[in-house]
């Protein structure tokens, strides 16, 4: 047999266990797979997903790979939504809101971002101590992926308001997006000293350590968050993801099961478990989870395909047991 031209060492940790028959992996499938992984690292999620699907179309045995990719995508989405959730929690009483800030908010709601920026800049020019205007200006920059500008705004805001927890959090977010993890971690740690149970800051800190490759420290941060808020499902999602990247699949399973127990309506978590259990040969549990998804979404193509693959296996397992 010829040497495998696509050794498992060329794939990221966490994906190697899901590449059966690698010696038969075609160059076309491998090209799509590598391209998808590269795009995901660049956070070009939709393009990455298309490449992964193309690889699976060419080499159907790679189907379990999509479960790993979907997990990473879900975790990334969970972090991305933190910015918006924090911003929405920071509503200022309109009675005390500067007229330029009001105008800026209206422009943002209508996606007139240049006008919004001009309004917020007017507000801070008239009153440099207007922390609300500074915050919204910084958030606008983050929304537009202008992270360097956001850093400048939030660095200034933390100097004039050293107790502004959310400013330190958003500064950590901006540095994270710039992949400057040391200042990111420093600002998030400061926010957590002020408020240890700050869920979004703790999750973002864990994500920063994760991105640095400090997996065990990331897990420790998530374990700390669990102590404060044991019913926070994203805590378990992230821990399971890290364990998968470390190829500790058996240890990851209970965390994903916890997500399913806490949020039964999150069908994505079920789907990921289906892939893991199918890969482990536990067809009974995989079939059960797939059927739960189909009870909510009868037209789910992935679960329909999974059942068609596994039902004969499950029937064989039951026959052997009897």
Query: Could you give the percent of the chain with pLDDT greater than 70?
Result: 74
Q: How far apart are CA 293 and CA 106, in angstroms?
A: 40
Residue 204 has pLDDT above 50, yes or no: yes
Q: What is the mean pLDDT of residues 273-301?
A: 89
Q: What is the mean pLDDT of residues 271-287?
A: 89
Q: Are 245 and 215 in contact (CB under 8 A)?
A: yes
Reported as a single tens digit per residue, the pLDDT across 237-249 is 888 888 888 888 8
Q: How far apart are CA 184 and CA 104, in angstroms?
A: 27
Q: What is the mean pLDDT of the chain?
A: 78
Determine the pLDDT at residue 18. 40
Reported as a single tens digit per residue, the pLDDT across 120-169 is 999 988 888 888 899 999 999 998 999 999 999 999 999 999 889 999 99
Q: Are 202 and 179 in contact (CB under 8 A)?
A: no
Cα separation values, 93 from 90, 98, 101, 173, Å: 10, 10, 12, 25
pTM: 0.63
Q: How far apart are CA 252 and CA 268, in angstroms?
A: 15
DSSP sequence for 69-101: HHHHHHHHHHHHHHHHHHHHTTPPPGGG--HHH
Q: How far apart are CA 159 and CA 153, in angstroms?
A: 10
Residue 9 has pLDDT above 80, yes or no: no
Determine the pLDDT at residue 22. 44
Residue 180 has pLDDT above 90, yes or no: yes
* Domains in the chain: boundaries: 12-77
Other residues' Cβ atoms within 10 Å of the Cβ of residue 112:
14
Reported as a single tens digit per residue, the pLDDT across 28-52 is 877 777 787 677 666 676 777 777 7
Strongest mean pLDDT among 55-64, 208-217, 264-273: 208-217
Residue 270 has pLDDT above 90, yes or no: no
Tell me the backbone φ, ψ of residue 142, rounded to 5 degrees: -65, -40
């Amino acid at each position: 047999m010829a040497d495998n031209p696509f050794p498992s060492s060329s794939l990221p940790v966490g994906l190697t266990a899901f590449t059966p028959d690698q010696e038969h992996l075609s160059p076309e499938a491998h090209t799509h797979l590598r391209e998808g992984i590269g795009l995901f690292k660049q956070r070009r999620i939709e393009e990455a997903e298309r490449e992964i699907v193309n690889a699976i179309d060419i080499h159907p045995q790679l189907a379990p790979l999509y479960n790993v990719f979907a997990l990473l995508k879900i975790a990334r989405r969970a972090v991305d939504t933190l910015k918006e959730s924090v911003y929405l929690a920071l509503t200022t009483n309109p009675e005390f809101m500067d007229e330029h800030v009001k105008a800026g908010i209206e422009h943002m709601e209508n996606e007139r971002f240049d006008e919004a920026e001009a309004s917020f800049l007017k507000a801070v020019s008239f009153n440099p101590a207007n922390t609300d205007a500074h915050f919204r200006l910084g958030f606008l920059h983050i929304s537009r992926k202008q992270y360097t500008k956001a850093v400048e705004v939030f660095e200034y805001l933390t100097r004039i308001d050293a107790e502004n927890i959310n400013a330190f959090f958003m500064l950590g977010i901006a540095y994270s997006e710039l992949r400057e993890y040391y200042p990111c971690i420093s600002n998030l740690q400061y926010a957590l000293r002020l408020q240890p149970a700050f869920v979004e800051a703790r999750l973002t800190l864990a994500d920063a350590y994760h991105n640095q490759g400090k997996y065990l420290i990331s897990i420790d941060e998530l374990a700390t968050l669990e102590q404060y808020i044991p019913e926070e499902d994203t805590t378990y999602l992230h821990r399971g993801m890290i364990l998968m990247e470390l190829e500790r699949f058996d240890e990851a399973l209970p965390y994903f099961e916890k997500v399913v127990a806490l949020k039964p309506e999150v069908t994505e978590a079920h789907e990921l478990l289906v892939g893991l259990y199918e890969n482990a040969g536990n067809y009974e549990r995989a079939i059960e989870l797939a059927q739960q998804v189909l009870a909510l979404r009868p037209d789910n193509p992935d679960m329909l395909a999974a059942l068609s693959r596994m039902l004969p296996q499950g029937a064989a397992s039951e026959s052997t047991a009897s």
